[in-house]
Amino acid sequence: MAEVSLNVEAPIDAVWTVLADGWSYAGWVVGASHIRDVDTGWPKAGTHIHHSVGPWPLVIQDSTEVVRCEPGRLLELDARLWPAGAARITFTLQARSDSLTQVRMTETVVRGPSAFLPAFVQDLMLVPRNKETLRRLDALARGRTAPFH
């Protein structure tokens, strides 16, 4: 299981707002290139984001499903990327202060050929990507709280 965390300089509500906005997914998830549709009710369990992954024109059409949602605290996803397989990704939020939120992201490959790779190889692939994902999430959450000029 690849695990990364980041202290985001934004209130927990601002971080959750980004996570709960399925249309923003391609703006912070590394590899997602286009959102084609977001199910009504996202991020309720069972809803999907229909997305494209990869650089144009070599895009793969797939989807990500919400497995579990505890608003303001936890979002667990089943992210598909065929033919590589699928991963279980969990975001856990914890307020450190009124303006600081710790975001922990864990990812485990659960299906497909990538699931047979040793854990340390999966970590080599996933940890740098997930660190960048959290940096992008941080930027969007901070942007939601920045004063307008």
Per-residue pLDDT 10s for the chain (149 aa) are 899 999 999 999 999 999 999 999 999 999 888 999 999 999 999 999 999 988 878 888 999 999 999 999 999 999 987 677 899 999 999 999 999 999 999 999 999 888 888 888 988 889 999 999 999 999 999 987 766 54
Residues 39, 23: Cα–Cα separation, whole Å: 10
- Predicted pLDDT of residue 45: 98
Residues 72, 68: Cα–Cα separation, whole Å: 12
Point out which residues pair with 100 in neighbouring strands.
Answer: 97
- The DSSP line for the chain is -EEEEEEESS-HHHHHHHHT-GGGHHHHSTTEEEEEEE-TTTTSTT-EEEEEESSTTS-EEEEEEEEEEETTTEEEEEEEETTTEEEEEEEEEEEEETTEEEEEEEEEEEESGGGGS-HHHHHHHHHHHHHHHHHHHHHHHHHHHSPP-
Say what angle helices 119-145 and 12-19 make with each other, to 10 degrees: 110
pTM of structure? 0.92
Under 8 Å between Cβ of 112 and 86: yes
- Predicted pLDDT of residue 59: 87
Domain at 2-145, CATH from 3.30.530.20, 3.20.20.70, 3.90.550.10, 3.40.50.300:
3.30.530.20
